[in-house]
Amino acid sequence: MFRLLIVEDEENSRKGLKATLAPIPNLEIDTACDGREGCLKAIRWNPDIIISDIHMPVWDGLVMTEKLCKKGFAGTIYLLTGYAEFEYARKALQYHVEDYILKPVVPSKLRNLIEVKLKDLNKKRNSQNPQLCHLLSDEDSVLLTERLAPFCYTDYFLAVVYMEREHHLPLEVKETVIEERGHYILTLPDKHYRGILIGFTNHMINHGKIDRISSLLEPYEHLTCIYETRQAGFISNWLLAFEQLRRAIPWTITCRSRFLSYDTYMEQEAGELNEDVFFKKDLQRMLCGGDFDGCRKILLKKIGQMQANACHPSHILAAAVSGLVKFDSKQAYLEAVNQMAAARTMHEIRTCIDSYYETCKGRPASAGYSPLIQKALHVIDKSYKEPISLNSVAEQLNITPQYLSRLFMKEMSRSFVDYLTSYRMERAKNLLQDTNMKINMICVQVGYQDAKYFCTLFKKITGVTPNQYRASSPNM
């Protein structure tokens, strides 16, 4: 990936230059609206190429170029100039300006100029250390084939390492890999991934070298690797081969491994996901009691069950996303959901779950709902011991029972009656665990007058009778 900075004070020109160069692959483009901003961005961002106008407010292009030269900027600078400015622009030669681009700019000529320069920069990069290669395009794939040809490798170890939020391999990993002959590190199109390539001769694959790569990556929790071995004759395009491995990274979630051998089943499409109603109910039950640690444990248990059943990683990710029950502001919830949806490894999933539910602690379970639902939950919390109903709560809120019922289904994903019942049962469990109160007294304390009906309902929800639940409690 290369970086290009456009410094131009006229907005339309700035946008036009960016639009002209945007189709060039593996090129990040940023802009600045004057020489001072351009200088600051260049120092901070370190672009490979700068295209700058000359006449600009604050600092003009020549002042910016002079200051960058004194700062030791090593990138390529092109100045935009008209015929009338040409002699003036020649002053910039002492500041190592590469060339001048005459106005008005011809888009096709500008694009060709930058593409040629990028090819030149790419060759220079690859020549600096032959074991550090760029694999960003089909052209790079051809160059890599040419580079490897003299060594007569018959087989290869190919690996893609996912680095989560990092953009570079740990220095120890990088240096240890490239100190070995026949080992290569490849920069891939996605900056969060790196490729590792090892060549073998005479059809003799050294599995000790593969084990060494595994041991090298193992101490770093944020590094996850998919690898395979292939005969040289079965590799026609290096870029496609490494892309196939990159797509398979999420299967490390299913297989519970951070160093995983690629298999063709990893190309299969995900089937239809069946919704687990009981999983959702368990989460809502914990949420009712404000037990966010319980929510976390239920979610991790669900993921563990799906891993044991070898579920498709996209299904596991979908379950993980749905397990982030809304409790706080919509923004915080959406940020967590987006973070989870972007996860590619079990480490990322667990980090997201732990972080999200850690922030839940000490907050009311109703915090993420609409004002009306919050009021309804408050009424239930204060009056669950009384014979309350959908109608009585709706009356207190001055809304119709039908509207309250729809709100509950929309925001809580369950009916009012289901929520009230779960809430009362959680309170009953607490009394069974923490007191010696008789069953008929407990049922009254949680809003039921008929002990037989209470016991039947309790067993239906928990699977055991109140006495059995009490007997199994560690507190009793």
In the predicted model, is pLDDT for residue 327 greater than 70? Answer: no
In the predicted model, is pLDDT for residue 270 greater than 60? Answer: yes
**Residues with Cβ < 8 Å from 213, sequence gap 6 or more?**
157, 159, 177, 196, 198, 225, 227, 259
**Residues with Cβ < 8 Å from 54, sequence gap 6 or more?**
60, 61, 62, 79, 80, 81, 85, 88, 89
Say how many C-beta atoms besides its own lie within 10 A of residue 269's C-beta: 6
Highest mean pLDDT among 73-77, 285-289, 303-307: 303-307
Q: 0.75 cut: is pTM over it?
A: no
- Domains of the chain, earliest start first: 1-124 (3.40.50.2300), 130-265 (3.30.70.270), 275-358 (no CATH), 369-470 (1.10.10.60)
Distance between CA 466 and CA 463 in Å, rounded? 10
In the predicted model, is pLDDT for residue 423 greater than 80? Answer: yes
In the predicted model, is pLDDT for residue 27 greater than 60? Answer: yes
Residue 61 is predicted with a pLDDT of: 86
Angle (deg, nearest 10), helices 416-434 and 371-383: 40
**Does 32 or 322 have the greater pLDDT score?**
32
- Out of 29-38, 340-349, 429-438, least confident range: 429-438
In the predicted model, is pLDDT for residue 421 greater than 70? Answer: yes
The 3-state secondary structure of the chain reads CEEEEEECCCHHHHHHHHHHHCCCCCEEEEEECCHHHHHHHHHHHCCCEEEEECCCCCCCHHHHHHHHHHCCCCCEEEEEECHHHHHHHHHHHHHCCCEEEECCCCHHHHHHHHHHHHHHHHHHHHHHCCCEEECCCHHHHHHHHHHHHHHCCCEEEEEEEECCCCCCCCHHHHHHHHCCCCEEEEECCCCCEEEEEEEECCCCCCHHHHHHHHHHHCCCCCCEEEEEEEEHHHCCCHHHHHHHHHHCCCHHHHHCCCEEECCHHHHCCCCCCCCCHHHHHHHHHHHHCCCHHHHHHHHHHHHHHHHHCCCCHHHHHHHHHHCCCCCCCHHHHHHHHHHHHCCCCHHHHHHHHHHHHHHHCCCCCCCCCCHHHHHHHHHHHHHCCCCCCHHHHHHHHCCCHHHHHHHHHHHHCCCHHHHHHHHHHHHHHHHHHHCCCCHHHHHHHCCCCCHHHHHHHHHHHHCCCHHHHHHHCCCC
